[in-house]
Chain A
């Protein structure tokens, strides 16, 4: 199994550009999450999904959008990139019928906005 796969691994954007960070998992997990991690800081939850067609905001959702059309995929969209969105983005998934089950993380996407 590949686990949680994130693409791309690195990306540089100009201010105002848009892009989609891809996340896919092959473990049939129902929950999926997007986090951002700024240098030297902990992870902050952006959005999460408890199943296909269901998404909810986390701690820092402003400037981002998500969708969950399938169980496997959970893309994160930046519509108007801003320097404050320079960060490392991690996608995670978990199999659970209640929160706080162990999460499986991808290797991250390092995004720079210039």
Chain B
């Protein structure tokens, strides 16, 4: 099975913009890219989803290049409460649903 690839961990400071990139070389033509956030002892929570170019909502932006082989989650002006694990999710070409291994984001004061 093809897999997604994300950085294992990232550190940033409060007030900074954080960008997390996910590689997904075998994404299917009609599939969307979805990002989730997970706090300790909780289930993942949907953040944002997109198909191409740029999507923005009240908490994040998602940038997807034309070839769609990667995506970048952008968190503007992070705070301590953004410390969490972030996952990107795509559907592989055989329709298996695979989470990336996740990126542990640690926000420092």
Write the residues of chain A forming the contact surface with B, with a CB cutoff of 8 angstroms: 4, 33, 35, 41-45, 48, 58-59, 90, 92, 98-108
Question: Do residues B91 and A100 form an inter-chain contact, with CB atoms below 8 A?
Answer: yes
Question: For the complex, what is the distance from the CA of A90 to the CA of B44, rounded to whole Å?
Answer: 9
Report the minimum CB–CB distance from B17 to chain A (whole Å).
Answer: 24
Size category of the binding interface on chain B: 20 to 34
Question: Do residues A99 and B46 form an inter-chain contact, with CB atoms below 8 A?
Answer: no
Instruction: Choose among B31, B34, B98 the residue that contacts A59 (Cβ–Cβ < 8 A).
Output: B98
Question: Do residues A102 and B49 form an inter-chain contact, with CB atoms below 8 A?
Answer: yes
The verdict on A107 contacting B30 (CB below 8 Å), with A45-B96, A100-B90, A102-B49 known, is no
Q: Is B101 an interface residue (CB 8 A)?
A: yes
Report the minimum CB–CB distance from A8 to chain B (whole Å).
Answer: 15
The verdict on A107 contacting B42 (CB below 8 Å), with A99-B31, A100-B91 known, is yes
Write the residues of chain B forming the contact surface with A, with a CB cutoff of 8 angstroms: 1, 30-32, 34, 36, 41-46, 49, 87, 89-91, 95-102
Q: Is the interface of A mostly helix, strand, loop or mixed?
A: loop
List chain B residues, Cβ under 8 A from A4: 43
List chain B residues, Cβ under 8 A from A108: 41-43
List chain B residues, Cβ under 8 A from A43: 44, 87, 99
Question: Do residues B89 and A100 form an inter-chain contact, with CB atoms below 8 A?
Answer: yes
Name the residue among B87, B95, B99, B102 with the largest chain A CB count within 10 angstroms: B99
Question: For the complex, what is the distance from the CA of A59 to the CA of B99, rounded to whole Å?
Answer: 11
Question: Do residues A45 and B44 form an inter-chain contact, with CB atoms below 8 A?
Answer: no
In the complex, the chain B residue whose C-beta lies closest to that of A41 is B101
Question: Do residues A105 and B45 form an inter-chain contact, with CB atoms below 8 A?
Answer: yes
Name the residue among B32, B36, B41, B44 with the largest chain A CB count within 10 angstroms: B44
Question: Do residues A105 and B101 form an inter-chain contact, with CB atoms below 8 A?
Answer: no
Question: Do residues A100 and B31 form an inter-chain contact, with CB atoms below 8 A?
Answer: yes
Report the minimum CB–CB distance from A9 to chain B (whole Å).
Answer: 10
List chain A residues, Cβ under 8 A from B102: 42
List chain B residues, Cβ under 8 A from A41: 101
List chain B residues, Cβ under 8 A from A98: 30
Report the minimum CB–CB distance from B23 to chain A (whole Å).
Answer: 15
